[in-house]
Amino acid sequence: MNIESLVVERVSDAEARFERVRRVVGFALAPIVFLIVLLLPLAGLKPEAHRLAAVMATVIVLWVTEALPLPVTALLGAAGCVVLRVAPAKDVFAPFADPLMFLFIGSFILARAIFLHRLDRRLAFGVLSIKWVGASPSRILFAFGAVTAFISAWISNTATTAMMFAIGMAILAFLFDNERAGGSPISRRYATGLMLMTAFAASIGGLATPIGTPPNVIGLGFIRQLLGVELSFFEWAMIGTPVALCMFAFLYLYLNRLCPAGVAEIEGSREMIAREKQSLGGWTRGQKSTLVAFGVTVLLWVVPGIIALALGEGSAVYQNLNHSLPEAIPAMLGAALLFVLPGERGERALAWGEAVKIDWGVILLFGGGLTFGLLSFQTGLAEWIGRGLTGALSLEGSLGLLTASVIVAAVMSETTSNVASANMVIPVVVSMARAAGVDPLEPTLGASLGFMLPVSTPPNAIVYGSGYVPLMRMVRYGLLLDVVGVVVIITLVHLLTPLVR
């Protein structure tokens, strides 16, 4: 699903000027940084590692300033590695055909079908219409956030936010129309809370599974390529799901406290949600087919992990399944089913013209990031950086390295995309872990955050465009969630990682 078409931004003139200046600075600074790094006497680096350092420094400047679209920068960086003879073209572009690229493609195609057939809306209004939720603004906030987080665990957090944003705006429009007609007055803080719940719950839900957000797949790729560790869908979820649940619980508690509606019950909300649910009509053939394809995919993802728990990872059944069904294969099989199962009016559940509308930019960005990570290891650049940082920071043990990596990832994610942040941080962290003599898997699993600014993630940008989220309130509430997220991730990753080792 194309991210650019979903992001709705409303920026002030000052913010627009800042973005223009930031891009101009990026264009001017990138070649200067390239020349400086290339001409610096970096002792201990092989020539190809030195040239790679110059390319990567330039790429980082362009990523942070977004002077060019992120995927374009990734492709230019990969091409630069070939031109400067860092590695042969076949080695540089080999990661673009990594199996995890096909996990992205299959998952994005499934998400596209879910969006087109409105399965996400059916789930959302189905949960909101539960009798327990009723007309309580507090319970509506909880149910709304829980649905958002759950959907985001399976499809892009940006697509989830775009869908739930439309539902949230419909709810708020009803509330304020009802208020103007003489109904109960609703605090504008509740509107802020509902919008922030949309973005923050989508980002948090994405942590639960490997496919919830691109940084997760990037982490899986580096774990496999750099560490030689196969981390299954089920094993990731054993760590990611508790992290997501703890963060969502905190998110609900503090938004419910800081953004009250001012009334105990919203008159007419139950009827409004029931009307929206009824407007969806009965289950269509396309919806049923999409649900079957999605169910088959999830089943193939989790069955190997369940068998491993029941029979042990050394069992022949698990070993055969694990080799036959790496994460990319169920995603591709599920996506292929969409072109076989029936849709509406004699067509298939998904047409190829719709399938090609997935976000190819994220896929290319992931391929470029994986290329830089692998080259940094092959040339010795990552080890050189890791040893330098380990000595400078005097880190002790896996917990110290985990803490540093999560904090660095969170800070970087506030100024650049989570995908770019993961590509920049993870390879260096793995080298730092090796240099420090600790298990490199724990810090690799430190998920990126980024809740403070509209530019931090597309979900933040979408809800900021609603007009209900003052910038400084997003900064304050996002900072609090960043801090809690860092603590939760450090604690649970440190405690749960031994379960998958």
pLDDT of 71 reads 85
3-state SS of 391-436?
HHHCCCHHHHHHHHHHHHHHHHHHHCCHHHHHHHHHHHHHHHHHHH
Per-residue pLDDT tens listing for the chain (501 residues): 443 333 334 445 666 777 788 889 989 999 999 999 999 988 888 999 999 999 989 988 887 787 888 789 989 999 999 999 999 999 999 988 888 788 778 878 887 888 888 887 787 777 777 788 777 888 889 988 998 898 888 876 776 776 777 678 777 777 777 777 766 777 888 889 999 998 899 888 888 887 777 777 777 777 777 667 777 777 788 888 898 999 999 999 989 998 888 877 777 777 777 887 888 888 999 999 999 998 898 888 778 767 866 776 667 887 788 788 877 888 899 999 999 999 888 899 999 999 998 878 878 877 887 788 778 878 888 778 766 665 665 656 667 767 777 776 666 666 555 666 676 677 777 766 666 666 665 555 454 566 776 656 767 767 876 778 877 788 888 888 888 888 888 888 878 877 766
**Residue among 278, 337, 271 nearest 109 (CA):** 337
175 — phi, psi (to 5°)? Answer: -60, -45
Q: What count of other Cβ atoms lies within 10 Å of the Cβ of residue 478?
A: 24
**Spatial contact of 109 and 338, defined as CB atoms under 8 Å apart:** yes
**Residue among 257, 207, 197, 221 nearest 95 (CA):** 221
Spatial distance between the Cα atoms of 149 and 147, rounded to a whole number of angstroms: 5
pTM of the model: 0.68
Residue 161's contacts (CB-CB under 8 Å, 6 or more residues apart) are 6, 148, 152, 198, 199, 202, 458, 459, 462, 463
> Hey, which residues does 348 pair with through a beta bridge?
342
Q: Which residue has the tokens 């001409």?
A: 39
Residue 167's contacts (CB-CB under 8 Å, 6 or more residues apart) are 121, 124, 125, 144, 276
| Domain residue extents for the chain | 99-355
pLDDT of 10 reads 47
Question: Could you give the angle at which helices 119-128 and 99-116 cross, rounded to 10 degrees?
Answer: 60
**Residue among 214, 246, 240 nearest 485 (CA):** 246
Spatial distance between the Cα atoms of 39 and 95, rounded to a whole number of angstroms: 29
**Spatial contact of 120 and 366, defined as CB atoms under 8 Å apart:** no
Spatial distance between the Cα atoms of 54 and 382, rounded to a whole number of angstroms: 13
Q: What count of other Cβ atoms lies within 10 Å of the Cβ of residue 57?
A: 17
